[in-house]
Structure 1
Amino acid sequence: MVALLTALGILLMVLGLLFSIAWHELGHLSTAKMFGIRCTQYMVGFGKTLWSTKKGDTEYGVKLVPLGGYVRMVGMIPPAKKRDDTSGKPMSRWRAMIEDAREANNVELEPGDEDRQFYQRAPWKRLIVMFAGPFMNLVLAVVLFVILLMGLGLYQPTTTVGAVHECVVPAATIDDTCPEDAEPSPAAQAGLLPGDRIVSINGEETPDWRSLQDAIRADIGPGTIGVVRDGESMTLRTEFIENQVVKLDADGDPVVKTDADGEPVLDSQGRQIPETVPAGFAGFVPMDARQPLSAGETAVFMGDTVLAVGEAIVTLPTKIDDVFGAAFLGAERTPDSPVGIVGASRIGGEIMTMEAPLVDRLAMVVNLVAGINLFLFAFNMLPILPLDGGHIVGAVWESIRRRLARLFKRPDPGPFDVAQLMPVAYVVVACFLCFSLMLLVADIVNPVRLMQ
């Protein structure tokens, strides 16, 4: 059964990733065709073609290596300007690479393509074509997050009691076993039971966990707890005491202890230690349940996720040493290590074998796919070739040059020659392939594990 669930998780992740790639390329294809650009290929993957079919001008297919995809549009590179070079000097290696790229670009030109080439379209149209791919990933991520957060919801504390502490212990205590001389907790003294739904503290209504938590922390001394038990309302009496409780930030999240370098302080088992403050204490654990988020809360959650993705991209170069060590030197793989296609698929398999309700496991897989789509959006917007952001920058720069030429009544400078940057694009592709191979080895020999 474990093997079957693992295979199912891997299959779901692979299908999710392939769909994300195909969805991205569909953005490029649809907008290119809308603007009359001839597209010769729409491919998911790289390398050997596993399947393809041709419809109209375009060949649609799936290739062997699912590391991305592409839409091949004719005329991505404009023709070279005439050069008056009579020196007889041999062409430099840089110039040779540029001209090779330009020649390869012209191979697919056919009669009738005179007005169907990419570079002939207005800069704003080219910008739309190149932005459409990452935008499709963003749309998919938003749809998946809305379904998960506003539809299914997140596990959050509720006003229903999950467990009652028998005695009073500091909140940061790892071992909550009651010492012999420990006094009973206020919740235990009141007779609070698991399953009770708390509706008020000292007569003050507590419709949600945050209001309940704030009310308890603000009250020290004799008080009442209004509960609903098996459909019957009742009032329990107790005495709230002062105790060391977990410190919360403005958003209600626990504040973690940090060292002089700002790093979280960990206990002997590798868990983060929270800061504590004196406040009112009752002594029970709330029951967690899925609760749908509002549109505003969903927007905040997604904004935080986008910031986390941006931070991950910025810090990606610093992870190269760690991935190399994990792949070839037997170093420990850190939980925040980047993963490739194999690693993400393996995580999907591990999720499906977890001891959790099926809906929770499927939600985790969908959440992972949504996060990957946010990463694809942000990564492809980097202003470097051959990424979409590089072409977008080229279109923007061409538009600026042409506007400045009209403003100062100078000749039209013509299309931006993206071929001039192709040697840089080759370097970027080489670096990406090397890093991808390194990730592949690390994901196989030293994978990131959710459960140690």
Structure 2
Amino acid sequence: MSHTLAYVLGVIVLIIGIGLSVALHELGHMLPAKHFGVKVPEYFIGFGPRLWSTRRGETEYGIKAIWLGGYVRLLGMLPPARADHPDKPGSMIAEARAESLSELGPGEQDRAFYRLSTPRKLLVMAGGILTNLALGIICLTVALGVVGQPAYTATLSSVSECVSSDIDAGAACTDADPTSPAAAAGLRAGDTITSWDGTPTTTWADVQAAIAAAGTEPAAVVVDRDGQELNLTVTAVEVPRTVYDAEGNPTTDDSGEVVTQLRPYVGIGPSLGTVRTSPGDIPQVVGSAVGQTLKAIVTLPVGLYHAVAAGLGLEERSPDGLVSLVGVGRIAGEVSSAGAGTGTGLPLSVRLFYMLNLLGSLNLALFAFNLIPLLPLDGGHVAGACWEGIRRVWARTHRRPDPGYADTARMLPVGQVVFYLLIIMAAILIWVDIVAPI
């Protein structure tokens, strides 16, 4: 597969994943709303021109051209104006109320969203948010526990023919170089080392530790070759190897010379694959991902500042910082096309891990973002329902009249400002992802 085709395929897979996430998010709103009797005239994935739609009962289901979100239209989201606090005729709030209630017939007033009890409002509006949380957890759990994290495995990708004069520099073999211990023992690329000197090995780190422990003594090595178990004996040799620091840079002494250390050498290289995370460790890893996502939302202004600074060339772009859908699409394309057409591409399992991790992270971001208690986000409606419930409980406990529905329509001007701020933020992040991509 060509690099370009693989790149496009990665972006398409991401778009489909986003579309499914949006569809399920809106379903999380629609199903409880319908269950509680709210009238739902439209359920659409995407915005802009209608590509396809069908009507089932009173609801039109469909797909629109721009897959940057979706919506489910619940009638009566805004309550009528209070008699003691009427709207200004022709105002944005008055028009929004009229539109919200216009499709409810004379016998359907009880089907307005605003007529629901506080717990039911919370279930409807939190349904989409919790759906994204569940999707994020599922994607990350499958990526970690079923597919596995990218890691070097106990399967060999290469076997050196000799002990060259400069191993770390990858010097070519000469006639004067001795045969490597791996080649002398009969190891081959594609062999999977299942034990070394009696120690079971499942990862490359296990193999490295076992080689170091065995030293230069003959070691019994069991390998799996094309489904057949073979028993070999490998005797490592001691060679000087470069010492690296924690950041992967060669360590030097006071005179500037590279520091070396004698270590057992076999002459084998690992293949890249995936290693499954222990079931007991998955909750901690997923919990950490949820916590980091929530932290990113809380520190959103700081993250945006650093993104702009990176776009202006004032600092390096952080791989853990904010990113737009353009940046996410670029990452998906690069993961899908890495090494395509060269024979050195990432294994399918590694690509699958990154795609699931990407979709899981996106769903966690949608979950956290929608917790912001401002319209037009779901969190704004959740906050309105909570405020309504608190006022009514307070009134009951103090034997006061029912204060009525929370008038979320009064927050529409704030919601409009938030909407424009979201557009500006998206535009800024798209610009940063173009000029200073991760």
CA drift of 1:114 comes to 1.4
CA drift of 1:312 comes to 3.2
CA drift of 1:436 comes to 2.1
Aligned pairs for 1:10-409 (under 5 A) are 10-83=11-84, 96-159=91-154, 166=163, 225-229=219-223, 231-236=229-234, 256=247, 286-321=270-305, 334=317, 336=319, 338-354=322-338, 355=340, 356-357=345-346, 359-360=348-349, 361-409=351-399
Please tell me the residue identity of whatever aligns with 2:222. V
- Which of 406, 411, 418 is the aligned partner of 1:416? 406
Q: Deviations over 1:410-439 (max 9, x none)?
A: 222222221232222111111011222334
RMSD (Å), alpha carbons? 4.4
Q: Structure 2, unaligned stretches of length 5 or more? A: 173-177, 252-258
Change (3 A) 1:8 1:96: same
* Secondary structure class of the residue paired with 2:221: strand
Q: Counterparts of 1:169 and 1:303 in 2: how far apart (Å)? A: 45
* Secondary structure class of the residue paired with 2:47: strand
Note if contact 1:335-1:448 (Cα within 8 Å) is conserved in structure 2: no
Q: How many percent of aligned residue pairs carry the same amino acid?
A: 36
Q: Counterparts of 1:224 and 1:314 in 2: how far apart (Å)? A: 57
Q: Counterparts of 1:325 and 1:224 in 2: how far apart (Å)? A: 57
Q: Counterparts of 1:84 and 1:238 in 2: how far apart (Å)? A: 87
Q: Deviations over 1:240-269 (max 9, x none)?
A: 89988678xxxxxxx559xxxxxxx999xx
Q: Deviations over 1:215-248 (max 9, x none)?
A: 667x59775633125644355456889988678x
Note if contact 1:26-1:133 (Cα within 8 Å) is conserved in structure 2: yes
Q: Deviations over 1:280-315 (max 9, x none)?
A: 866765444333333323333322322332343334
Note if contact 1:74-1:118 (Cα within 8 Å) is conserved in structure 2: yes
Note if contact 1:37-1:117 (Cα within 8 Å) is conserved in structure 2: yes
Note if contact 2:237-2:264 (Cα within 8 Å) is conserved in structure 1: no
Note if contact 1:158-1:288 (Cα within 8 Å) is conserved in structure 2: yes
Please tell me the residue identity of whatever aligns with 2:348. V
* Secondary structure class of the residue paired with 2:406: coil
Q: Counterparts of 2:57 and 2:127 in 1: how far apart (Å)? A: 22
* Secondary structure class of the residue paired with 1:334: coil
Q: Counterparts of 1:400 and 1:347 in 2: how far apart (Å)? A: 44
Q: With the length of structure 2 as denominator, give the TM-score of the two structures.
A: 0.75
Note if contact 2:238-2:262 (Cα within 8 Å) is conserved in structure 1: no
Please tell me the residue identity of whatever aligns with 2:131. M
Q: With the length of structure 1 as denominator, give the TM-score of the two structures.
A: 0.73
Report the number of matched residues: 413
Q: Structure 1, unaligned stretches of length 5 or more? A: 179-183, 248-254, 258-264, 268-275
Q: Counterparts of 1:84 and 1:390 in 2: how far apart (Å)? A: 22
Change (3 A) 1:8 1:160: closer
CA drift of 1:37 comes to 0.5
Q: Counterparts of 1:285 and 1:311 in 2: how far apart (Å)? A: 39
Note if contact 1:220-1:239 (Cα within 8 Å) is conserved in structure 2: no
Q: Counterparts of 1:145 and 1:3 in 2: how far apart (Å)? A: 28
Q: Counterparts of 1:187 and 1:410 in 2: how far apart (Å)? A: 88
Q: Deviations over 1:54-79 (max 9, x none)?
A: 33222223334332222111111222
Please tell me the residue identity of whatever aligns with 2:58. D
1:7 aligned to 2:2? no
Deviates more, 1:285-294 or 1:65-74: 285-294
Q: Counterparts of 2:297 and 2:63 in 1: how far apart (Å)? A: 28
Deviates more, 1:359-368 or 1:231-240: 231-240
